[in-house]
Amino acid sequence: MKFQVQVYQDEDDAYAAECPSIPGCVTGADSFEEALSMIQDAIKGCVETRKGLGYQLFLPTYEVEVAV
């Protein structure tokens, strides 16, 4: 299964990665590549936890166009 993820560098030059379709699924790393690897593990863990708790596994995400 594929998930959209966001990876960004914070003010301390650390990298954060999150999966917007799984609330609270966030991880941190020292490099971009490590963040991508770690978010994959985080997604697996979050899905298993949500499954065990009987929660919806993930929330649908949508794209909307906004004029700015």
CA dist 25 → 39, 62, 66 (Å): 8, 18, 26
Number of domains present in the structure of the chain:
1
Q: Is residue 36 part of a domain?
A: yes
Give 1-11 pLDDT, tens digit per residue. Answer: 899 999 999 88
Q: What is the pLDDT of residue 5?
A: 96
Q: Is residue 68 part of a domain?
A: no
Residues of the domain holding 16? 6-53
pLDDT-based confidence at residue 61 (cuts at 50, 70, 90):
confident
Q: What is the pLDDT of residue 4?
A: 92
What does the pLDDT average to over 51-62?
92
Q: What is the pLDDT of residue 1?
A: 87
Calpha distance 32→5 (Å, rounded): 12
Give 12-46 pLDDT, tens digit per residue. Answer: 899 999 999 999 999 999 999 999 999 999 999 99
